[in-house]
C-alpha cells in the first residue's frame, strides 16, 4: 500500500497489485464543520505495479452527499496524477561496520539475493573488480594503512542502473604514551592551594573516540572527551583542577586514556594508564585535644592525643605564663590546666587541656583507737587517691560498715582497704571499746546426779577483762584471780544450794546466782516375762517387761532393748518429773526356732547433756528357749530367675511325717510319704506372681509349710537419655532436666538408675513399687551447667540389684552418651595491669578471652578502635612513642555478654638521664687527667745527667 501526499485537504489512498482502492475520500473540516464531514468518492480504479516503473493516473473523485442529496451525486474530476514506482537495491554487508587497528588485517562480505549483471568493491586499498556470476563478494586488506579509506560495495541490476552501500571503517591507534604532571609547580603542595594536573596523550587516533579518566587512588574524579573529526593520530592533553587537603597527603593521582570503539571494537576497550603521581601536602599542625588523666610520674611528652601536621612540628607546654619542659614527670600536685602548642613552617595551633594526675591510694590513719562504749568513732582515717578510691572495712575476713556509735561488738582488728584502678592499699586499725562487766545469762538451776562432777559456768564479758569470784553460803569458793567456772567433784547432797558469781572491773560489777540440785540415780533395772514361764513356741507372740526403780529426771530417760547385743527397740520419755518415779517398758516378740537360746536385756540411760556423759544402768540378761513342731529346710532359701528360664528348689526335713509336697501355680509336686527330700522344678518360669511353698504333715491333724522366696526378673529392653523440653546448646547457670527412660523392666522395686557425668557418679535413684510384671520407668536429673561442663557427656545406667542369689555382677543396661554444649559469656584471663616499654621498642599487649560462642576481641585507645576487625587477642605497637602511652582497653564480646580489661602502657625514655651522663663524663675526664699526670711524672724521672762507667758486667749508668 502506498500513501500519497495530501492534496487540497484530501487524503488519497491507492491499492497496489490489482487491489481496488477505497472509493471514498473524506475531507477533514474539524469539529466546527458539518457533521458528518462532507465526502467525495471516485470511481474504482485498478492499477498494477511491475518491477519496471509504470505510470499511474487517477482522474475522478466522487463526493458522497447521502440519499437526501441530488442523484446522481455531484462529481468533480481532477487532472491526472502520475506516479512512478521503482524497485529497491538490496545489498547486505557483513559486518556492517569494521573497526581495525592501524596496520592490521581488515575484511567484509557483500551479498545480495537479487539478479544483477555485475557487483564489486571500490576502495583506495583492496578494490575488487566487478563479477556477474556471484551473489557474495569479499573485500580484504592484509595491512590497512589508509586513514581516510571509504570502501563501498556496488551492484548493477541492469545496464542503466547501479546501487551501492558504503562500509563504515574505523581505523584506530592506541596512545604511544600517557603521562601525568603538575602545571607550573614542583615540590609539596600547601593545604587549600589551587593546583592544575595535566595528562598528556601522545599519538592517538581517532581523537573523537578518546576519553580521559582521572583517578584519585581508585576513585574516579573526572572524565573528559574530545570533539574532533581528524582521523589521523594526534596529541591531546587533559587538565584537572585540585585543591588538596591534609587527607590527600600521600594520595596518588593517575589518568587513563581509553578509546571507546563501540561494540565492534576490541573488548574491553583499549586503555593506557599513566604512572601514578604522588602528591605531598603540607599543612599546619592540628591537635586532637582532650583532658588527660596520666598516672603519677608520667612525663608530659607522653601526652596521648595525636598531633597531625606536615612538615614535622615542634611542641611546647605552658602552665599559666610559665613554660614547662616536656620531660617533666608529673607529681600528684601537678594537676591543673595546661596549654599544649604545636607549630611548623605552615602555622601553629594550641589547645588547653585539664591534666588530672592519677595515683594509687595513700593512708593517713592511726594504727590504734580507744574509747568508751556508746561514744562516736572519731578516728581521723583519711585516704587520698586519684581517681577517688573505693574504701571498704573488713573484720575477720568479712566486709563491715565503718564504725559509728561504738559498742562492745566493735572491738577488734579492722582492715581498711582503699582501691582505685591504679592499685590497692591496706591499713590495719585496732579499735578498743571500754565497758563494764556483763555476765551471760544461763541456767538459774543446775541438776547433777549424786557422785557425779558438775561445773557451774559464769561467762562474763567486759573491757578491761573483769575479775570473777564465787561464793557459797557467804563463803568464798575461789582460789584467787579470774575464775569463770566452778567445778564440784563427786557431788553430795551437802553441795546443793545457791552459788553466787560476781564479775568486777574499773567500770562496775555484776552478780549471778545459780541453784544446784543433787539427784539420786536409779536404784535397779530388771527384765522379766509377762504372764509366761518356761519354753516358748515358735511363731507365737510374747511380751517382755523392763522395770526401772526410782528414776529422777524422767524427761532425760531412754530405755533400750537388746537381743544378743543388737539394739531392737528404743523408747525416750518426755514427761517432766520433780520426784523419783518407777517406770515400766514392754517389748513384743514372736520368736522363731533360730531364737532358741537368745539373750535379751534392757538398759536405762539418762542423757545428762552438757552435765556429763550419760548415766546407764543395765538389767541382767534373760535367756529364752524356743521349740518348733515342724522343721523344713529349703535349698536354696531364695530363687532368682530370669523370665522364661529354668528354676528349682529342694525341700527337706529330718523329722517323721505322713506326707510332704509342693504347692505352686507352675510345677506343683504331689504329696509323698516315704521321702525326706522333695524337689520343685520348672523348665520355663513365666508366672510373674509365683509363690510356691513346701508343706509337711507331721500327723493327720497338723500341717506346716515354708514359702520359697521367688524373684523373676527381666532386664530392660532399652535405656535412653534425653533433655526435657529443650533442644540445642544450654546456657551457663540455666536449669535443665535430663530424663532416663527404661523400657520393659521387672521387678521395678529392685531397679537402680545411676547417673554419670563422664565417669563420675552424680546421682542414684531407686523405685518403691510392688508390681512384679514388666513396666516402663523414668528417672530425671536436674542440672545447672557451668562453662566447665561444655562438651561434657551424661549417661544413665539401669541396674537390677537381685542380691547375692542373682547373677553377678548385677544385670546392667547403659544408655548412649548425651553430649551437652554450654554457651557462656566471655571471661578474660587476668594479667599485668601496667606494662612498661622503652621508647622506640615494640611491645605486645595480650588479651586472652574464653567464651562460647568464641568471643570477638577488640582493642581501643583513647576511645578509638585499634583493631583491624575480627578477633584480635593481642595488640602489637611497633616503635612505641610517648604518644602511645596511656590506658588501652580490651573488650571481649559474644551473644551472652562482654568483659573489659584495662592495661596501662608506660613509654619510658631510652636515653640515659642527664645526671648520669654528666657523672660518666666527669669520671672519664678524671681518668684522662690521671693518665696524663702519670706520663709526665715518668718522663721527669727519665730526664737529667748520667755518669756512664764500665764494669765487668758492662756499662753502668748512674744519675748524677
Cell numbers representing residue 646 in the block = 529354668
585 neighbors 549 (Cβ within 8 angstroms): no
* Calpha distance 671→675 (Å, rounded): 10
Nearest to 744 by CA among 669, 643, 837, 844: 643
206 neighbors 230 (Cβ within 8 angstroms): yes
Q: What is the pLDDT of residue 14?
A: 33
Least confident span in 105-119, 302-316, 624-638, 849-863: 624-638
Average pLDDT over the chain reads: 84
Going by pLDDT thresholds of 50, 70 and 90, the confidence category of residue 595 is confident
Q: What is the pLDDT of residue 454?
A: 86
* Between 527 and 229, the higher pLDDT residue: 527
**CA of 943: how far to CAs of 125, 586, 620, 937, 949, in Å?**
111, 135, 130, 10, 18
What is the DSSP track for 525-593? EEEEESS--S-EETT--EEEEEEEEEES-GGGEEEEEEETTEEEEEEE-----SS-EEEEEEEEE---G
795 neighbors 756 (Cβ within 8 angstroms): yes
The answer for residues whose C-beta is within 8 angstroms of residue 499's C-beta and 6 or more apart is 456, 470, 471, 472, 477, 486, 513, 514, 515, 516
pLDDT in tens, 399-423: 999 899 999 888 888 999 999 988 8
Q: Which residue is it, cell 599542625?
A: 285
Q: What is the pLDDT of residue 705?
A: 84
Strand order through the sheet with 445-449: 445-449, 508-519, 497-505, 467-472, 475-476
pLDDT of 632 higher than 80: yes
User: Mean pLDDT throughout 236-256?
Assistant: 94
**CA of 348: how far to CAs of 124, 250, 345, 351, 708, in Å?**
71, 22, 8, 11, 110
Taking phi over 0 as left and psi of -120 to 50 as alpha, with beta for the rest, 494 belongs to alpha
User: Mean pLDDT throughout 885-895?
Assistant: 88
8-state DSSP, 939: H
Tell me the range of 30-39, 401-410, 526-535, 676-685 where mean pLDDT is highest: 676-685
Q: Which residue is it, cell 522343721?
A: 631
pLDDT of 5 higher than 50: no
pLDDT in tens, 228-243: 778 899 999 999 999 9
Nearest to 728 by CA among 720, 717, 736, 718: 736
8-state DSSP, 953: T
546 neighbors 585 (Cβ within 8 angstroms): yes
pLDDT in tens, 326-381: 888 999 889 999 999 999 999 999 999 999 999 999 999 998 998 888 888 888 88
Cβ atoms within 10 Å, residue 749: 14
Least confident span in 22-26, 260-264, 677-681, 860-864: 22-26
pLDDT in tens, 129-182: 999 999 999 999 999 999 989 999 999 999 889 999 999 999 999 999 999 999
* Backbone Cα Rg of the chain: 62
User: Mean pLDDT throughout 926-933?
Assistant: 90
pLDDT in tens, 8-23: 333 333 333 333 344 4
Going by pLDDT thresholds of 50, 70 and 90, the confidence category of residue 870 is low
Count of positions (residues) in the chain: 960
pLDDT in tens, 745-773: 999 889 999 999 999 999 999 887 778 89
What is the DSSP track for 888-938? EEEEEEETTEEEEEEEEEEEE--SPPHHHHHHHHHHHHHHHHHHHHHHHHH
Nearest to 822 by CA among 792, 795, 849, 848: 792
The answer for residues whose C-beta is within 8 angstroms of residue 269's C-beta and 6 or more apart is 258, 259, 260, 261
Q: What is the pLDDT of residue 949?
A: 52
SS3 content of the chain, % helix, strand, coil (to 5): 5, 50, 40
Q: What is the pLDDT of residue 17?
A: 35
Cell numbers representing residue 108 in the block = 567484509
359 neighbors 296 (Cβ within 8 angstroms): yes
According to DSSP, the residues that pair with 640 across neighbouring strands are 711
Least confident span in 266-270, 332-336, 572-576: 572-576
Distance of CA 608 to the CA centre of its chain: 61
* Calpha distance 397→395 (Å, rounded): 5
Q: By percentage, how much of the chain surpasses pLDDT 90?
A: 44
Cβ atoms within 10 Å, residue 354: 12
**CA of 661: how far to CAs of 666, 765, 896, 930, in Å?**
14, 41, 75, 130
As to burial, measured by CB atoms within 10 angstroms (0-12 exposed, 13-18 middle, 19+ buried), residue 259 is buried
Q: What is the pLDDT of residue 104?
A: 94
pLDDT in tens, 903-914: 888 888 766 666
| 581-589/390-395 β-pairing | unpaired
Q: What are the φ/ψ torsions at residue 657 (nearest 5 degrees)? A: -160, 170
791 neighbors 806 (Cβ within 8 angstroms): no
* Calpha distance 49→588 (Å, rounded): 144
Nearest to 755 by CA among 821, 817, 820: 817
pLDDT of 959 higher than 60: no
User: Mean pLDDT throughout 662-677?
Assistant: 92
The answer for residues whose C-beta is within 8 angstroms of residue 823's C-beta and 6 or more apart is 729, 730, 731, 732, 852, 853, 895, 896
Q: What is the pLDDT of residue 955?
A: 42
* Calpha distance 679→672 (Å, rounded): 11
Cα end-to-end span (Å), the chain: 153
Q: What is the pLDDT of residue 187?
A: 92
Tell me the range of 752-756, 836-840, 858-862, 873-877 where mean pLDDT is highest: 752-756
* Calpha distance 655→814 (Å, rounded): 50
Least confident span in 31-40, 114-123, 245-254, 812-821: 31-40
Q: What is the pLDDT of residue 914?
A: 65
User: Mean pLDDT throughout 729-751?
Assistant: 92
Q: What is the pLDDT of residue 306?
A: 86
According to DSSP, the residues that pair with 205 across neighbouring strands are 173
User: Mean pLDDT throughout 109-131?
Assistant: 93
Going by pLDDT thresholds of 50, 70 and 90, the confidence category of residue 92 is very high
Q: What is the pLDDT of residue 55?
A: 39
pLDDT of 960 higher than 80: no
Going by pLDDT thresholds of 50, 70 and 90, the confidence category of residue 482 is low
* Calpha distance 856→307 (Å, rounded): 31
pLDDT in tens, 495-504: 888 899 988 8
According to DSSP, the residues that pair with 828 across neighbouring strands are 849
User: Mean pLDDT throughout 257-273?
Assistant: 93
Amino acid at each position: 500500500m502506498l500513501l500519497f501526499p495530501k492534496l487540497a485537504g484530501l487524503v488519497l489512498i491507492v491499492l497496489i497489485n490489482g487491489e481496488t482502492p477505497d472509493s471514498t475520500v473524506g475531507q477533514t473540516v474539524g469539529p466546527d464543520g458539518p457533521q458528518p464531514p462532507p465526502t467525495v468518492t471516485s470511481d474504482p480504479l485498478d492499477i498494477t505495479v511491475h518491477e519496471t516503473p509504470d505510470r499511474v493516473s487517477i482522474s475522478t473523485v466522487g463526493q458522497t452527499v447521502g440519499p437526501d442529496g441530488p442523484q446522481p451525486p455531484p462529481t468533480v474530476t481532477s487532472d491526472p496524477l502520475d506516479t512512478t514506482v521503482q524497485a529497491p537495491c538490496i545489498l547486505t554487508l557483513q559486518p556492517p561496520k569494521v573497526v581495525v587497528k592501524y596496520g592490521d588485517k581488515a575484511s567484509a562480505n557483500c551479498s545480495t539475493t537479487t539478479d544483477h549483471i555485475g557487483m564489486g568493491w571500490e576502495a583506495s586499498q583492496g578494490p575488487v573488480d566487478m563479477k556477474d556470476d556471484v551473489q557474495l563478494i569479499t573485500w580484504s586488506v592484509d595491512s590497512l594503512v589508509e586513514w581516510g579509506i571509504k570502501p563501498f560495495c556496488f551492484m548493477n541490476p541492469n545496464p542503466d542502473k547501479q546501487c551501492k552501500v558504503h562500509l563504515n571503517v574505523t581505523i584506530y591507534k592506541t596512545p604511544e604514551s600517557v603521562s601525568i604532571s603538575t602545571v607550573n609547580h614542583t615540590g609539596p603542595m600547601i593545604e587549600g592551594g589551587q593546583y592544575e594536573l595535566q595528562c598528556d596523550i601522545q599519538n592517538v587516533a581517532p581523537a573523537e573516540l578518546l576519553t580521559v579518566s582521572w583517578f584519585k587512588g581508585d576513585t574516579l574524579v573526572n572524565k573528559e572527551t574530545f570533539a574532533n573529526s581528524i582521523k589521523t593520530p594526534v596529541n591531546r592533553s587533559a587538565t584537572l583542577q585540585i585543591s588538596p587537603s591534609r587527607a590527600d597527603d600521600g594520595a596518588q593521582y593517575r589518568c587513563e586514556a581509553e578509546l571507546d570503539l563501540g561494540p565492534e571494537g576490541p573488548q574491553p576497550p583499549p586503555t593506557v594508564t599513566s604512572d601514578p603521581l604522588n602528591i605531598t601536602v603540607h599543612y599546619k599542625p592540628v591537635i586532637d585535644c582532650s583532658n588527660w588523666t596520666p598516672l603519677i610520674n608520667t612525663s608530659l611528652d607522653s601526652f596521648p592525643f595525636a598531633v597531625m601536621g606536615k612538615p614535622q612540628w615542634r611542641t611546647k607546654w605552658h602552665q599559666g605564663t610559665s613554660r614547662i619542659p616536656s620531660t617533666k614527670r608529673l607529681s600528684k600536685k601537678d594537676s591543673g590546666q595546661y596549654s599544649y602548642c604545636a607549630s611548623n613552617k605552615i602555622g601553629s595551633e594550641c589547645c588547653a587541656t585539664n591534666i588530672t594526675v592519677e595515683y594509687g591510694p595513700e593512708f593517713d590513719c592511726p594504727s590504734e583507737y580507744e574509747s568508751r562504749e556508746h561514744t562516736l568513732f572519731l578516728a581521723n582515717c583519711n585516704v587520698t587517691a586519684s581517681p577517688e578510691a573505693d574504701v571498704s572495712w573488713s573484720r575477720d575476713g568479712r566486709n563491715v560498715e565503718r564504725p559509728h556509735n561504738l559498742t562492745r561488738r566493735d572491738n577488734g582488728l579492722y582492715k581498711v582497704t582503699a582501691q582505685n584502678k591504679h592499685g590497692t592499699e591496706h591499713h590495719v586499725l585496732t579499735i578498743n571499746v571500754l565497758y563494764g562487766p556483763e555476765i551471760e545469762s544461763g541456767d538459774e538451776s543446775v541438776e547433777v546426779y549424786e557422785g557425779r562432777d558438775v561445773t557451774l559456768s559464769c561467762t562474763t564479758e567486759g573491757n578491761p577483762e573483769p575479775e570473777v569470784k564465787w561464793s557459797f553460803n557467804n563463803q568464798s569458793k575461789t582460789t584467787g584471780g579470774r575464775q569463770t567456772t566452778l567445778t564440784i567433784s563427786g557431788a553430795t547432797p551437802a553441795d546443793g544450794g545457791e552459788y553466787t558469781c560476781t564479775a568486777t572491773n574499773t567500770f562496775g560489777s555484776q552478780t549471778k546466782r545459780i541453784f544446784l540440785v543433787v539427784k539420786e540415780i536409779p536404784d535397779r533395772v530388771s527384765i522379766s516375762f509377762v504372764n509366761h514361764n518356761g519354753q516358748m513356741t515358735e511363731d507365737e507372740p510374747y511380751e517382755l517387761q523392763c522395770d526401772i526403780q526410782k528414776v529422777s529426771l524422767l524427761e532425760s530417760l531412754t530405755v533400750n532393748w537388746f537381743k544378743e547385743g543388737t539394739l531392737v527397740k528404743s523408747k525416750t520419755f518426755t514427761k517432766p518429773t520433780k520426784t523419783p518415779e518407777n517406770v515400766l517398758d514392754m517389748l513384743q516378740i514372736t520368736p522363731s526356732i533360730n531364737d532358741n537360746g537368745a539373750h535379751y536385756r534392757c538398759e536405762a540411760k539418762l542423757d545428762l547433756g552438757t552435765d556429763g556423759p550419760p548415766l546407764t544402768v543395765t538389767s541382767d540378761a534373760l535367756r529364752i528357749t524356743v521349740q518348733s513342731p515342724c522343721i523344713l529346710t529349703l535349698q536354696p532359701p531364695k530363687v532368682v530367675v530370669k523370665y522364661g528360664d529354668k528354676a528349682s528348689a529342694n525341700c527337706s526335713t529330718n523329722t517323721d511325717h505322713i506326707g510332704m509336697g509342693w504347692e505352686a501355680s507352675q510345677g506343683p509336686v504331689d504329696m509323698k510319704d516315704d521321702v525326706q527330700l522333695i524337689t520343685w522344678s520348672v523348665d520355663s518360669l513365666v508366672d510373674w506372681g509365683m509363690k510356691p511353698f513346701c508343706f509337711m504333715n507331721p500327723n493327720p491333724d497338723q500341717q506346716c509349710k515354708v514359702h520359697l522366696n521367688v524373684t523373676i526378673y527381666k532386664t530392660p529392653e532399652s535405656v535412653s537419655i534425653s533433655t526435657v523440653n529443650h533442644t540445642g546448646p544450654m546456657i551457663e547457670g540455666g536449669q535443665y532436666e535430663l530424663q532416663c527412660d527404661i523400657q520393659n523392666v521387672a521387678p521395678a522395686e529392685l531397679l537402680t538408675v545411676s547417673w554419670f557425668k563422664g565417669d563420675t557418679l552424680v546421682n542414684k535413684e531407686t523405685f518403691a513399687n510392688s508390681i512384679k510384671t514388666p513396666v516402663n520407668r523414668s528417672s530425671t536429673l536436674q542440672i545447672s551447667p557451668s562453662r566447665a561442663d561444655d562438651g561434657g557427656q551424661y549417661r544413665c545406667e539401669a541396674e537390677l540389684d537381685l542380691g547375692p542369689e542373682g547373677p553377678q555382677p548385677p544385670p546392667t543396661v547403659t544408655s548412649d552418651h548425651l553430649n551437652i554444649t554450654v554457651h557462656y559469656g566471655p571471661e578474660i584471663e587476668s594479667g599485668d595491669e601496667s606494662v612498661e616499654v622503652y621508647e622506640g621498642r615494640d611491645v605486645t599487649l595480650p588479651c586472652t578471652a574464653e567464651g562460647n560462642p568464641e568471643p570477638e576481641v577488640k582493642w581501643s585507645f583513647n576511645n578509638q578502635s585499634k583493631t583491624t576487625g575480627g578477633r584480635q587477642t593481642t595488640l602489637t605497637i611497633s616503635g612505641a612513642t610517648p604518644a602511645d602511652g596511656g590506658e588501652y582497653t580490651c573488650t571481649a564480646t559474644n551473644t551472652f555478654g562482654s568483659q573489659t580489661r584495662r592495661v596501662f602502657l608506660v613509654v619510658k625514655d631510652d636515653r640515659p638521664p642527664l645526671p648520669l651522663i654528666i657523672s660518666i663524663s666527669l669520671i672519664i675526664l678524671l681518668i684522662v687527667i690521671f693518665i696524663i699526670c702519670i706520663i709526665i711524672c715518668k718522663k721527669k724521672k727519665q730526664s737529667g745527667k748520667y755518669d756512664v762507667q764500665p764494669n765487668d758486667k758492662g756499662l753502668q749508668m748512674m744519675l748524677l
